[in-house]
Amino acid sequence: MRRHIMMAVNYRWKLTLIKCLLLISSLVGSAGWQQALAQQEPIQQESKQQERNVTVPANTKNAQEDDELFVAPQLESSESQANASKSENSTAEKTDDSLPIEVDGIEVFRVRHSVGPYSIQTRVENIQRRLKKAKSDKQYLQLVENIRAINQRQVAEIMMGNEPLVIVTDQDAKAEGLTSRMTLAERQAANLKKALLQSIESHRPGSLILAAGQTAVSALALMLSLMFLNWLFPKIYAWIEVARGKQIKSLRIQNAELISEHTLADVLVGVLRVTRVAIVIALLGLFIPLALSFFPETRGIASDIVDWAVQPVVGVALPAILAYLPNVFVIILIAIATYYLVAFVQFLFKEVGRGTITIANFDPEWADPTFKIIRFLVIAFAFVLIFPYLPGSGSPAFQQVSIFLGVLFSLGSSGAISHLVAGVFLTYTGAFKLGDRVKISDAVGDVVEKTLLATRIRTIKQEYITIPNAMVLSSHIINYSSSSNRTGLILHTTVTIGYDAPWRDVQAALIAAAKATENILAEPAPFVLQTSLDDFFVSYEINAFTNKPQIMAVTYSDLHRNIQDQFNQAGIEIMSPHYATLRDGNRTTIPEKYLPSDYTEPSFAVKVK
């Protein structure tokens, strides 16, 4: 024990000597004294290291803990001299980990910088110890009222009476973003004085009684709120049960029921139950920290509870939202610009389709598909612009998901892409238009829908056939309507007539039948082709022009009826491969009304030589 006391005294003696040397050096400004001081600094550090390695007796402990107040000016002076040849931040330890100075659990200010060998935590512990020690003074109220800031040679000090309480260095001021340590010291002194006076007031008996009353009122308000909730929500549940099928009806789109009235009512009840639980939890979460905040001993706990609840929102979510607001503004601008650009393009091509605006070598029929293609490209380009501003777009997870979706889309949409390309090709080649009568592979009908992926046609039997565009492009297409728009579509049919019938009479009968058919054009005139000379008959093909391909089936039917009438009137039999010119005595196939009155059935004659 004696050895420990001697070491402490030796340390105090050396420290006193250093103070004297520093004082003389500052007054005289001699380089020799400064060199002597520099030689003494290793001794001081060695003495401090020795002090840390020994156990200090109780009667010297307080003196050691208070060394910060006395050593700090000298340390600051040494650091200031070193800063003349070194950078400002190289001599003093800096850290972003600050600790609060609290009074009754309420933060007054924060210590953000260490002083020499004294870390932030050590400084905070020493300040809190001095505040606790001052509370035991009989003149505590007068000491608190006499808290003030004074400016020393190298540091500013917050005094409590005649005793220094907190030192404020230039580094502390810079850590707070201030240029003057005195400004920071005055601010901290005012905050500390205010907090201590409030603490003294809150510990008075009258304040404690008031806090108890406030807690009771808060508890009563909580109880009344819970009772009101227990009364209100059952009433709402009962009203929902009564309103089933009346005020609460099924959700429908035309005749399709999306959500029944019973399901909708059950969903509303479930949402209300969850809302009720959330309100109860919110009330309890509000009451507990409120009640704890009324008492000075539990005010710190209340502050911690509020921090736990608010920190995720205020400390994480809110800054993230505020930081993301510029991105939201950019996204909104891009969306607005895209919307109006698409609207302008739609107006432009709508007028082109109507014919009010003409573009050279641009078919008005192309207006709608061209608009759809441009709209897709504009929206895709807008998404590319928006993508970097989406939250998390730069994260590895987001990028991996994007790559996965891209690969999935590429593998799964190869067929769709081929149909899309075929649709674009069909659009700009003008193979057919809406309303055209076409034949695609074996399907004949009118085009009723034409998209970039598929084509729909309606047959004469009112059948709707959807054909993928890739299949349309790979098949041959016959467009009956495009021919009729120029010279007319040729309808043709073939009859087989025996060699015994004069071909001129056959051709005249066919042309007469064509001219008698409705929807057959007089000009160009119908004509007949002899397509083949078979073993038993001649094939005659009648060709007639029409400008109404949509009703070609009806026109064909009328033409066939007229051919029968004309041939019967001309006395020409329409022969088929089942007939031969050799008669065996059977009656002719011509209807009786077309036969002459003296007609007799032919007989089968055999001549014998």
CA distances from 182 to 93, 101, 114, 188, 457 (A): 21, 18, 18, 10, 89
Average pLDDT value for residue range 284-313: 75
Q: Is residue 605 pLDDT above 70, yes or no?
A: no
pLDDT of residue 95: 44
The C-alpha atoms of residue 44 and residue 10 are separated, in whole angstroms, by 11
More confident residue, 575 or 164: 164
The DSSP result for 106-128, as a single string, is: EEEEEEEE-BTTB-HHHHHHHHH
More confident residue, 550 or 492: 492
Long-range pairs, 296-300, Cβ under 8 A, ≥24: 296/104, 296/105, 296/199, 296/202, 296/203, 297/104, 298/105, 299/104, 299/105, 299/106, 300/102, 300/104, 300/105, 300/106
Q: Is residue 379 pLDDT above 90, yes or no?
A: yes
More confident residue, 503 or 81: 503
Residue identified by tokens 């910060």 is 68
Helix orientation angle between 31-52 and 2-28, rounded to the nearest 10 degrees: 160
- Which stretch of 17-26, 45-54, 289-298, 432-441 has the lowest confidence by average pLDDT? 45-54
pLDDT per residue as tens digits for the range 146-182:
788 888 888 888 888 788 888 888 888 888 888 888 8
Q: 3-state DSSP: the chain helix, strand, coil percent, rounded to 5?
A: 60, 15, 25
Average pLDDT value for residue range 310-333: 82
Residue 161 Cα to chain centre, angstroms: 61
SS3 390: coil
Q: Is residue 316 pLDDT above 80, yes or no?
A: no
Average pLDDT value for residue range 389-403: 78
- Which stretch of 75-79, 107-111, 406-410, 468-472 has the lowest confidence by average pLDDT? 75-79
| pTM to 2 decimal places | 0.46
SS3 1: coil
Q: Is residue 519 pLDDT above 60, yes or no?
A: yes
Q: Is residue 64 pLDDT above 50, yes or no?
A: no
CA distances from 371 to 14, 335, 375, 421 (A): 91, 18, 6, 16
SS3 581: coil
Residue 128 Cα to chain centre, angstroms: 50
The answer to whether 509 and 564 have CB atoms below 8 angstroms apart is no
Of 74, 193, 172, 81, the closest CA to residue 123 belongs to 172
pLDDT category at 475 given cuts 50, 70, 90 is confident
pLDDT of residue 203: 66
Q: Is residue 112 pLDDT above 90, yes or no?
A: no
Q: Is residue 213 pLDDT above 80, yes or no?
A: yes
pLDDT category at 231 given cuts 50, 70, 90 is very high
With helix as H, strand as E and coil as C, how does 484-504 read? HCCCCEEEEEEEEEECCCCHH
pLDDT of residue 289: 81
Average pLDDT value for residue range 357-364: 82
Average pLDDT value for residue range 414-432: 78
pLDDT of residue 566: 93
pLDDT per residue as tens digits for the range 578-604:
544 555 556 666 777 777 888 777 776
- Which stretch of 16-25, 250-259, 360-369 has the lowest confidence by average pLDDT? 16-25
pLDDT category at 45 given cuts 50, 70, 90 is very low
- Which stretch of 36-45, 334-343, 522-531 has the lowest confidence by average pLDDT? 36-45
pLDDT of residue 604: 65
- Which stretch of 21-25, 52-56, 393-397 has the lowest confidence by average pLDDT? 52-56
Residue 316 Cα to chain centre, angstroms: 20
Quote the percentage of the chain above a pLDDT of 90. Answer: 18
pLDDT of residue 530: 94
Contacts of 153 (CB under 8 A, 6+ apart): 26, 73, 77
What the block records as the tokens of 540 is 């005659």
pLDDT of residue 85: 39
pLDDT category at 73 given cuts 50, 70, 90 is low
pLDDT of residue 44: 40
Residues in the chain, overall count: 609
CA distances from 587 to 527, 574, 576, 602 (A): 33, 15, 16, 7
- Which stretch of 142-156, 346-360, 516-530, 536-550 has the lowest confidence by average pLDDT? 142-156
- Which stretch of 30-34, 146-150, 321-325, 518-522 has the lowest confidence by average pLDDT? 30-34
Q: Which helix (H) or strand (E) holds 458?
A: strand 454-458
β-bridge pairing 464-468 and 489-498: unpaired
Q: Is residue 338 pLDDT above 90, yes or no?
A: yes
The C-alpha atoms of residue 243 and residue 265 are separated, in whole angstroms, by 8
Average pLDDT value for residue range 97-108: 77
Highest mean pLDDT among 33-37, 407-411, 538-542: 538-542
More confident residue, 258 or 348: 348
Q: Is residue 41 pLDDT above 70, yes or no?
A: no
Average pLDDT value for residue range 482-503: 83
Q: Is residue 200 pLDDT above 80, yes or no?
A: no
* Average pLDDT of the residues of the chain: 76
- Which stretch of 9-23, 249-263, 307-321 has the lowest confidence by average pLDDT? 9-23
The answer to whether 553 and 460 have CB atoms below 8 angstroms apart is yes
